[in-house]
Amino acid sequence: MKLDPVFNTKLGKLYKGDCIYVMQRLPAESIDCFFADPPFNLNKTYGEDNKDNLPEEEYLNWCYKWIDEAVRLLKPQGSLFIYNLPKWNTYLSAYLSNKSKLNFRHWVAIKQTFSLPIQGRLYPSHYSLIYFIKGNKPKTFNPPRIPVQVCRHCGGEIPDYGGYKNKINPKGLNLSDIWLDIPPVRHNRYKKRKENALSLKLLDRVLDISTQEEDTVLDPFGGSGTTYIAAELKKRNWIGIEITTCNDITSRFKNLSADIEHFKEIRKEINVLFTDKAMKLRRKNGRSNGKYFTHEHIHEPQLSFEDMLFQSSKLQ
């Protein structure tokens, strides 16, 4: 049966419907990167067709079904990411290793800024992002370097690098599997819907790590379309699916300028040791950078605002 997208751009197609139904109709081994941020089964309201309070076994069986499709769609050496609560990702990781025969790469802990304490438990402070690949070696593995964390008052570096400062790469720190720098989407300008949209910075990073321009990314749980915006701005092909209204996604694409601006800010903080803001603070507080290699002018080539506007004007 032919699938009809409800919206498309030069690079992407968005389908409205159930992700398992849509994925079953896509060709095998056609996706380079699969990213999923499914409902967490926390009884949130996403729309009428969408139950988010299933018995545990039912929720997991549902996850296993879309995982089976994702694995079928993944090209050899392709990457798969699932963002979920640690509780669910323990089961999903086991399934991906034992049943799907994918290879485990990382469990990334992403700092959760606002959470409520749960009685009788440790205070939950991270979301988990699991990262698997099909085959032994990823086709692309290109983690960005990130800036040193600094005190927001004086610009001093928070970790003490002691005598190792000379050894630090001027392009920034190696990305680890604990991400403390992914902000929650709270700012009205960036928040596209009431439900939990992910940060554009998170998707920019995931796509940096695992894809190249012209690769194809699939996210079966569209929400506000953060993955599709990141893919579009990074020149990746994308396939999106959303079971409830797609209006949040389409209106976001029709008014891209806030996302473009945000994306430019995010890209400025990649592959540098100190952000521009940190540099200013350091100067103001008389902190020299003499112990580090020079870094100030090492920025990756940036897309100009005009380039991006040109890209967005090409959207269909």
Does position 138 bind ligand SAM by CB under 6 A? no
State the minimum distance, in angstroms, from the CB of residue 20 to ligand SAM. 6
State the minimum distance, in angstroms, from the CB of residue 204 to ligand SAM. 12
C-alpha distance across the termini of the chain, in Å? 24
Nearer to ligand SAM, 260 or 273 (CB): 260
Nearer to ligand SAM, 218 or 308 (CB): 218
Q: Which region among 90-98, 121-129, 196-204, 288-296 touches ligand SAM (by CB under 6 A)? A: 196-204
Does position 251 bind ligand SAM by CB under 6 A? no
| C-alpha of 220 from chain center | 14
Q: Which of 12, 147, 172, 223 binds ligand SAM (CB under 6 A)?
A: 223
Nearer to ligand SAM, 138 or 220 (CB): 220
Does position 67 bind ligand SAM by CB under 6 A? no
Those residues with Cβ within 8 angstroms of residue 36's Cβ, 6 or more apart along the chain or in another chain: 66, 70, 81, 82, 83, 219, 220, 221
Does position 84 bind ligand SAM by CB under 6 A? no
Secondary structure class of 72 (helix, strand, coil): helix
Q: Which region among 121-129, 215-223, 254-262, 263-271 touches ligand SAM (by CB under 6 A)? A: 215-223
Q: Which of 140, 169, 244, 289 binds ligand SAM (CB under 6 A)?
A: 244
Positive or negative torsion for Cα 165, 169, 173, 177: negative
Those residues with Cβ within 8 angstroms of residue 22's Cβ, 6 or more apart along the chain or in another chain: 3, 15, 220, 241
In which residue are the tokens 């991400």 written?
179
For the residues of 276-290, what is the DSSP string, one character each?
HHHHHHHHHTT---T
In which residue are the tokens 């034992």 written?
98
Contact map string, positions 1 to 30, toward ligand SAM, x by CB under 6 A: -----------------xx-----------
- Tokens matching residue 275: 């952000």
Does position 215 bind ligand SAM by CB under 6 A? no
Q: Of 1, 3, 17, which Cα lies nearest the Cα of 222? A: 17
CA atoms of 5 and 120, how far apart (whole Å) = 47
Nearer to ligand SAM, 30 or 196 (CB): 196
Does position 73 bind ligand SAM by CB under 6 A? no
CA atoms of 66 and 68, how far apart (whole Å) = 5
Does position 46 bind ligand SAM by CB under 6 A? yes
Residues lying near ligand SAM in the complex (CB under 6 A) are found at 18-19, 37-39, 46-47, 50, 195-198, 220-224, 226, 241-244
